[in-house]
Each structure stands twice: as structure tokens, then as C-alpha cells.
A and B are shown apart, each in its own frame.
Chain A
Amino acid sequence: MLRYLGVEIRRTFRDRRFVFFTMAVPVVFYLLWANVFGKADGTVGGTGLNTRTYLMVSMASYGALGAALTTTGSRLAAERQSGWLRQLQITPLRPWAVITVKIIASMCLALPSVIVVGLAAVLTQHVHLSPAEWGGMIALMWLGTLPFAALGTLVGSLVGPDAAQPVTLICYFGLSILGGLWMPVQTLPATLRHVAHWLPSNRFAGLGWSVVGGHVPPASDGLVLAGWAIVLGALAIGAYRRATVRG
């Protein structure tokens, strides 16, 4: 299994589009927003964080969420279609191992987004966190990608390769925008604010905002994310089994 995990991670890093969209894009947008909005020394409503730090978490979340979704969704659909998954099915590697590795790999592949945006923040925006805060943020944001990896697996098991790409992108932008990763939730209309409150993307970034603000994240963040992870995970496993065990 470890060997499979290594193979999955290695080949993803060779995919230039992956590197571009999950690392370069979040960093560029981070630098852009931080330069546009970060000049004012105010804090972002309610969080007590300065804009540059707040945006660091937003863009890290944005990149991580994208990485977790795209490394599962479209790829899984493509591998189902191309026969690669069937080829794996006739090796001693068990189907549950395949899906477990896919999910863990996609969580691991989300980490670089967090790390590169964090580095950009430290190096160019003078964001300062204690080592414990860095450690906490990275660890929680690693675990927090689980519901997105499950969502991607669900999409990849349900729809074909042509549809998987747009469906994944809709989930990606929908969750990012409604979850308050592009604009703070406080600036959204009231109804959307309520929706955002229950979205995993908002809670996911919430983990990061709490940690960098020096707080322990509220249990509700963990619970909402765990709830999503369980529901999406169960659906994903069901859909994956249906997709691979043929009639």
C-alpha cells in the first residue's frame, strides 16, 4: 500500500497542471489580494486577524481544497474509463486498499498548497506564527481535507470522465466562494451566510483561522467536518464499489 501511495504522489507531481493550479494559482492570488487589501492595518471582521494572515489561510484552503478534489474526481473517472482500475483489480491489491490510498494520497497532495502559501506569507508579507501554530495549522488542514477527498471520490465514481471535470470544478468553485474563501463570509448576504456556516469549506478554513489567531478551533468546526466526512465517505465507498464491481 505504501508503494502505491508513493506511486500516486510521485506521478501527480509530474502533472504540471496540478502543480500550477494547486500551488502557483493560490500563491499568485494570495500575493495579489495581500497587496491590494493588506495595506490597511485593520482586522477582518470578527476574526481579529490582520488581512494578510487571514488571506493566507483562505488561499491555502482554496489550494488544498482544489488539490483534494481534483486528485480524486477527474482522475478516478479517467482511470475507471481507461481500464487502469480494472488492471489493479486483478492484482493482489484489494479494492478497499485502492480507495484508501487514493483518499490518503489526495490528502497528502493538498499539503503542498498550504505549505507554499504559508511560505509566501512568511517571506513576503511578514506573517509571523509560532512553530506550534504552524504545526497545528498544517496538521489540522491535512485532516480537514478528508471530506473533500471523499467528495472527489464520490464524483469520480458516479460520473464519466467527460462530466467529471466540470462537476469537480463546480464543486470546487461553489465550495470556495460560498465557503468564504474568496470574500469573508461576513460580506455575503444573510442567507448565503447561513449556508456558508454549514459548508465543509468554511469550517475547513475556520480551523486555520482559529489556529493562526492563537485559539483552539471550536469543536463545532471539527464536528461539521467529521459529519461531512462520514456522509460523503459512506456515499463515496458505496459509489466506488458500484463502479468497480461489475454486474
Chain B
Amino acid sequence: MNAIAFTGVSKSYGPVRAVEGLDLTIDAGSTVALLGPNGAGKSTSIGMLLGLVRPSAGEIRVFGDSPDTAVKQGRVGAMLQDGTLVPGLTVREVVSFIRGLYPDPMPLEEILALAGLTDLAGRRADRLSGGQAQRVRFAIAIAGAPRLLVLDEPTAAMDVESRRSFWGSMREYAATGRTILFATHYLEEADENADRVIVVARGRVVADGTPNEIKAAVGTGTVRFTIGDQPTAGLDALPGVTGVEIRGSVAQLRTTSPDATVQALYATGLRVTDLEVRGADLEEAFLSLTHDN
């Protein structure tokens, strides 16, 4: 069964089209990344999925029901993009309160352990560091053992170490057969943690596939050099190259493997000057994908 189905879903805020004609189904049990730059419409789509935002057009089903019904029955848990914890309660109190709202929650100690909060359980939830607070918000999201877990840019406030352990917790939860949808603007996070990546830009889906397919389409870096008036034929056949752009005397290659591309480039015998290698500029890659469509 589909965990999530969007059919022709749009949302406008006055003249701003936050989401435009989204058609999407997500299988139960999969882990899916919604990847896109800021303003792409990720949070708006998630808001509609959770019944917090009403679509201007189209229909959304969550496990075959309306979002409101799915939420009411406790089948959904979510970590919203921004949100602070309510003052005056300890970590244990707040998690145990939320847990008690669901019909069939996880055991409290298990939630705390999975979110890495066992040692912080007695601390006041409003007096934690950014990364710790995100863990509490994760614990709240999974407390009811929801079949669908939605995470909107969950690692935004975290350092590298916290990120790593966060995704570890997420994968552990996913391993129990639940469906997970998370939004991110890092290709890396999508690549490492999802079975499927849906790339959105300007309210539309611009690419949809496995992480490898997406990486190949987007490229993970660019190689740029001055080519002058030398011939450009064959550049697109170099290893890793997914796109070639010539702007005046400058050639820019999008590549999944900058190292391999650069080595092969020198082997062609071309005179390469002003070589510049950069990691993927996602913003740019997304925009080129938008134009391609």
C-alpha cells in the first residue's frame, strides 16, 4: 500500500506558488528524502501532508485516509522545521506526555534510548543545547511509534557528531519497517540515508530516483578551466562528466567524480589553464535541472 499519495497538489500564498501540481506516491516501508534548496516548497508539502496547511488544489492521502484522520489515529509523527520545546518540563515528562497521547506507543525507556536521551531524561527540556533539543524533538516524533515519520530538516542545528548519531537513530527506526520522509537541502544527507530521493525546486518535482541516479544527474562537483578556442568535442565523454557548458572561453564540466575527470582531462592533451575544481553547488545544479524539465 502507498503510505503517501499526493494527487495534483498545489498551494499558493497570494502570488507565491509554494507547491505546483505535486504528484507523488511513496511506498510503505521506504525511506525517502525530499531534497531541494530553500524556498523549494518542502515545508509547505510537509505541512499539507500533516494537515497543518490546506492545499489550494489536489488531494493527499496518508495510508489511504485524509491527513487529519491519519493524525487523529496516531499513525503519523513529525519533527517540524522550527519549533522549540515547551518550558517547565523535564525531558522525561515531555516525552512521556506525548507518548501517552498515542494509542500504541513505544515503551518510554526505549524511546529515550533510541533518541540518545537516557542520560538527559531528568533535565529540563527547555534548557538543552541545540543538538540535544533536536534529539528531544526526535523523541517526541517517534514517541507514538507512528507508521509514518516525517522530519523537516532535522539536522539543521547540529554539529557533525550529532548529525551522525541522529541519522543512526533514524535508520534504527526505519529498520522497524516504518515509512520515513525527510526534507533536507544536503545531497549528502539524502544520499546516505534514503532509498529514494525526490528533488524539488520552485514547487515542482525536478528529479526522482535512487540516490545514485540523482547523484549522476546532479553531479557532485564542477571542473572549470579556460579552454580558449580549442575544440570541445569529447569533453562530455570524459569519466564522470554529466554535463558540459561552454561560456565564452571557459568550459564547465559537471561531474560525479572530479578526480577522475581532471586526470582524464590532462590525458586528452588539451592545454588546461585556470583549473578550478569545486564541490557540487546544489543551488546551481537544481536550477539546471529545473531548466532541463
A residues near B74, Cβ cutoff 8 Å = 91-92
Task: Check B103 against A7 for contact (C-beta < 8 Å).
Answer: no
Task: Check B88 against A84 for contact (C-beta < 8 Å).
Answer: no
A residues near B80, Cβ cutoff 8 Å = 83, 86-87, 90
Task: Check B84 against A11 for contact (C-beta < 8 Å).
Answer: no
- Binary per-residue interface labels of chain B (120-142) against chain A in the complex, 1 for a CB within 8 Å, 0 otherwise: 00000000000000000100100
Beta-carbon nearest neighbor of A84 in chain B: B86
Please tell me which one of the listed residues A4, A11, A91, A92 contacts residue B87 in the complex, with CB atoms under 8 A apart.
A11
Given contacts A87-B140, A90-B71, contact A82 B97 (CB under 8 A): no
Q: How many A-B residue pairs have CB under 8 A?
A: 74
B residues near A247, Cβ cutoff 8 Å = 13, 53-54
Please tell me which one of the listed residues B71, B86, B89, B137 contacts residue A92 in the complex, with CB atoms under 8 A apart.
B71
Beta-carbon nearest neighbor of B13 in chain A: A247
Task: Check B52 against A89 for contact (C-beta < 8 Å).
Answer: yes
Given contacts A7-B89, A84-B83, contact A91 B50 (CB under 8 A): no
Tell me whether B101 is interfacial, beta carbon within 8 Å: yes
Beta-carbon nearest neighbor of B73 in chain A: A92
Tell me whether A246 is interfacial, beta carbon within 8 Å: yes
Beta-carbon nearest neighbor of A1 in chain B: B101
Tell me whether A93 is interfacial, beta carbon within 8 Å: yes
Distance in angstroms from A240 CB to nearest chain B CB is 15
Distance in angstroms from A190 CB to nearest chain B CB is 45
B residues near A89, Cβ cutoff 8 Å = 51-52, 71
Please tell me which one of the listed residues B52, B72, B83 contacts residue A82 in the complex, with CB atoms under 8 A apart.
B83
**Once bound together, how far apart are the Cα atoms of A92 and B53, in whole Å?**
17
Please tell me which one of the listed residues B71, B82, B84 contacts residue A91 in the complex, with CB atoms under 8 A apart.
B71
A residues near B85, Cβ cutoff 8 Å = 82, 84
Give A residues with C-beta under 8 Å from B: 3-4, 7, 10-12, 14-15, 79, 82-84, 86-87, 89-94, 245-247
Identify 13 residue pairs between A and B in the complex whose beta-carbon atoms are under 8 Å apart, listed by A's number.
Answer: A7-B89, A7-B97, A82-B84, A82-B86, A83-B82, A83-B84, A87-B80, A91-B74, A92-B102, A93-B101, A94-B72, A246-B52, A247-B53
Beyond A14-B88, A90-B77, 7 extra complex contacts between A and B, CB < 8 Å: A4-B97, A10-B93, A83-B80, A86-B83, A87-B83, A87-B137, A90-B78
